[in-house]
């Protein structure tokens, strides 16, 4: 039997850490005399820091400035997550258990730095469910390019057509499409062009993952 895999985004999909990200961006940008609105922040979900900061700072921003602000942001984010903890979104832990028991391979495929991923998984107590982790350092192109998902599939030894991506951002859903993978979108407030769209993982039909693999 061909192995099957689920590739999970992390922020907004397995855990809601939006407020921590917002607070840490405000902190890091204030150190540099920059401010952005909450809507500007929300429009960047799923993107890598370099692209986010070039959009906010302008095309002439130096790489040193971008890296300094990004490092300050991620350091503050990790501090908040470690100090205050994280809770899985409804249905997340239950699906991880169910899929593992059903023989699915699972990976984190995130635009976040690896240190963030490690801190988050420890805070969530979910480390044992993942057979691979792909983070920002592992690819040169971020979502909506498919690299992060193709890298995760390769590390798991699973063909793209047998992978299902779970995402909360439009950039991630587009990356899944470009990778030739089925997609599940999780959005409490908006719409996503995913194969299956739910407001919560608790709403997923029990055969959702099998259906997406079988129809590709």
Closest CA to 104 of 184, 212, 210, 179: 210
CA–CA separation, 189 and 186 (whole Å): 9
Per-residue pLDDT of 38-55, as tens digits, reads 999 989 987 889 999 999
CA–CA separation, 28 and 24 (whole Å): 6
Whether 135 and 157 have beta carbons less than 8 Å apart is answered as no
6-10, 25-29, 185-189: lowest mean pLDDT where? 185-189
- Which single residue is written with the structure tokens 């057509």? 161
Report, as residue numbers or ranges, the catalytic residues. 9, 11
Whether 184 and 30 have beta carbons less than 8 Å apart is answered as no
The token pair at 89 is 């979104």
Per-residue pLDDT of 137-169, as tens digits, reads 999 999 999 999 999 999 999 999 999 999 999
For the chain, give the mean pLDDT. Answer: 95
Q: Are strands 132-134 and 163-167 parallel, antiparallel or unpaired?
A: unpaired
Which domains are assigned to the chain? Answer: 5-16+86-214 (3.40.50.1000), 18-84 (1.10.150)
- Mean pLDDT to the nearest integer, 112-135: 94
Measured in degrees and rounded to the nearest 5, phi and psi for residue 15 equal -150, 145
Distances (CA, A) of 32 to 19, 38, 57, 123, 215: 20, 18, 11, 29, 50
CA–CA separation, 42 and 171 (whole Å): 12
CB < 8 Å & 24+ apart, contacts of 76-79:
76/23, 76/24, 76/27, 76/28, 77/17, 77/20, 77/21, 77/24, 77/116, 78/115, 78/116, 78/119
- Tell me, what's the pLDDT at 46? 75
Q: Are strands 5-8 and 132-134 parallel, antiparallel or unpaired?
A: unpaired
């Amino acid at each position: 039997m061909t192995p099957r895999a689920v590739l999970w985004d992390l922020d907004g999909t397995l855990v809601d850490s939006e407020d921590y990200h917002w607070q840490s961006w405000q902190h890091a940008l204030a150190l540099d005399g920059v401010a952005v609105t909450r809507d500007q922040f929300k429009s960047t979900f799923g993107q890598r820091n370099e692209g986010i900061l070039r959009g906010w700072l302008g095309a002439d921003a130096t790489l040193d400035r971008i890296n300094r602000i990004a490092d300050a942001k991620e350091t503050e984010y990790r501090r908040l997550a470690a100090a205050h903890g994280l809770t899985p979104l409804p249905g997340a832990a239950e699906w991880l258990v169910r899929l593992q028991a059903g023989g699915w391979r699972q990976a984190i495929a995130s635009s976040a730095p690896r240190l963030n991923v490690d801190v988050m998984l420890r805070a969530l107590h979910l480390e044992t469910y993942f057979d691979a982790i792909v983070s920002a350092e592992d690819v040169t192109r971020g979502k909506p390019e498919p690299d992060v998902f193709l890298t995760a599939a390769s590390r798991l030894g699973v063909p793209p057509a047998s992978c299902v991506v779970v995402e909360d951002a439009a950039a991630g859903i587009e990356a899944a499409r470009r990778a030739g993978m089925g997609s599940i979108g999780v959005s409490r407030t908006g719409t996503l062009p995913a194969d299956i769209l739910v407001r919560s993982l608790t709403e997923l039909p029990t055969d959702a993952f099998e259906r997406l693999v079988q129809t590709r």
